[in-house]
Amino acid sequence: MLFDPRPKSSRDELFDREEELKALDRFAERGDPLAIVLGIRRIGKTSLLKSFLSEWAGVYVDARGVRTRADLFRAIGEGLSASRRVRMMLRGVRGVRVGPYGVELKWRGPDSLSLAGLLHELGRGGGQVVVVFDEVQSLRPPISAEVREAIAYAYDNVPAVSVILSGSEVGLLRDFVGVGNPDSPLYGRYSLELEVPRFSPGLSREFLREGFREVGVDVPEALIEEAVTVFDGIVGWLVYFGRSYLDGLRDLDRVVKAAVETALKELTHLRPRERLVLKAVASGARSWSEVRDYVESVEGVTIPKASLTRVIRKLERLSIIKDYAFLDPIYERASRRLGGGDRA
**Chain positions contacting ligand ATP, by CB under 6 A:** 2, 4-8, 14-17, 39, 41-47, 168, 235-236, 239
Supply φ then ψ for residue 169, to 5 degrees: -105, 90
Residues facing residue 194 across a β-bridge: 37
* CA-wise closest residue to 44 among 74, 75, 21: 21
Amino acid (1-letter code) at residue 16: D
C-alpha span between 149 and 52 (Å, rounded): 25
Q: Which does 273 bind (CB under 5 to 8 A by kind): Mg ion, ligand ATP, none?
A: none
Least gap, CB of 238 to ligand ATP (angstroms): 7
Amino acid (1-letter code) at residue 89: M
C-alpha span between 57 and 54 (Å, rounded): 8
CA distances for 180 relative to 174, 191, 198, 317, 336, angstroms: 9, 13, 27, 14, 34
Nearer to ligand ATP, 4 or 290 (CB): 4
Least gap, CB of 42 to Mg ion (angstroms): 8
Residues in contact with Mg ion, counted by CB under 5 A, come to a total of 1
The SS3 of residue 152 is helix
Nearer to ligand ATP, 86 or 136 (CB): 136
| Residues 17 to 46 in contact with Mg ion, rule: CB under 5 A | 46
Amino acid (1-letter code) at residue 314: K
- 138 is a site residue for Mg ion (CB under 5 A): no
Nearer to ligand ATP, 121 or 134 (CB): 134
C-alpha span between 280 and 299 (Å, rounded): 9
Nearer to ligand ATP, 43 or 150 (CB): 43
Residues contacting residue 42 through CB under 8 Å, at least 6 positions apart? 234, 235, 236, 237, 328
Residues belonging to the chain? 344
C-alpha span between 325 and 310 (Å, rounded): 17
Q: Which does 308 bind (CB under 5 to 8 A by kind): Mg ion, ligand ATP, none?
A: none
Least gap, CB of 262 to ligand ATP (angstroms): 11
Nearer to ligand ATP, 128 or 204 (CB): 204
C-alpha span between 135 and 318 (Å, rounded): 12
Least gap, CB of 47 to ligand ATP (angstroms): 3
Least gap, CB of 235 to ligand ATP (angstroms): 4
Q: Which does 15 bind (CB under 5 to 8 A by kind): Mg ion, ligand ATP, none?
A: ligand ATP
Least gap, CB of 119 to ligand ATP (angstroms): 23
Residue, CB closest to ligand ATP: 44
Nearer to ligand ATP, 4 or 299 (CB): 4
Q: Binding residues for Mg ion, per CB under 5 A?
A: 46
